Structure 1
Amino acid sequence: MDTLKLDDTGDLCLCKKNNLAIYRDLNAIKQTCENYVKATLNEMILNWNNGVPYFQTAFNTNVNIPLFENSIKNRLLEVDGVEKVISVEAKVNDETLSYIAYIQTIYGDGVING
């Protein structure tokens, strides 16, 4: 798998020769997984039913951790090349919801977080 490399703000990266930078194999899948998890349910006009239901799970006074973790797991399984989601662990710390996910891909194991 190949994909365009993005920086921390989601902008395209350039390599030293000012060409678009590319991620390959495991790094490409990990970046794609991170972007899949960032997509909010009903956000995408052409894929209305895809995304993580943040408004139902995270943006509430009582965060629904199990539903949030399950939503992330299901979303990660939609990524081409992901064979298995080993685990997803979410937690709230000082009003910040974060997660870490361990995935098994066709290129090996990886870890993503957000």
Structure 2
Amino acid sequence: MISAQVSGPERGPVADRPRRRGQAPPHTPLRPHWACRADGQPWPCATARLMLKAEYENKMPSLSIYLAGLLYEAMRDLYHLNPHDGPSPRALYDRFVGWGPFRRSIDEPSTSHRDT
């Protein structure tokens, strides 16, 4: 059986951003529940999103790649915790990647900038 011979994907990035500032608890995810360590909201919370955008201000493609990797890690953790009643893939996408710098709803038609 070929599927038995193929190993699973490697672990994704470490969820260590946004970087800690000051003495307050960092707005990083508490795994495996993916809640914010500082305010208990689903991560990335509003503060984490602002801090991530500021930290990656000149590296927006890197932010998108980082968030996509964390989406993978969150799916692994959350579906392992609750395989039958976990969040939908669309909800997780919106939570982790959909707010980021290169967002466009999959429902939006693509626009073309052709001169007519």
Calculate the TM-score normalised by the size of structure 1. Answer: 0.28
Calculate the TM-score normalised by the size of structure 2. Answer: 0.28
Higher strand residue share: 1
Higher helix residue share: 2
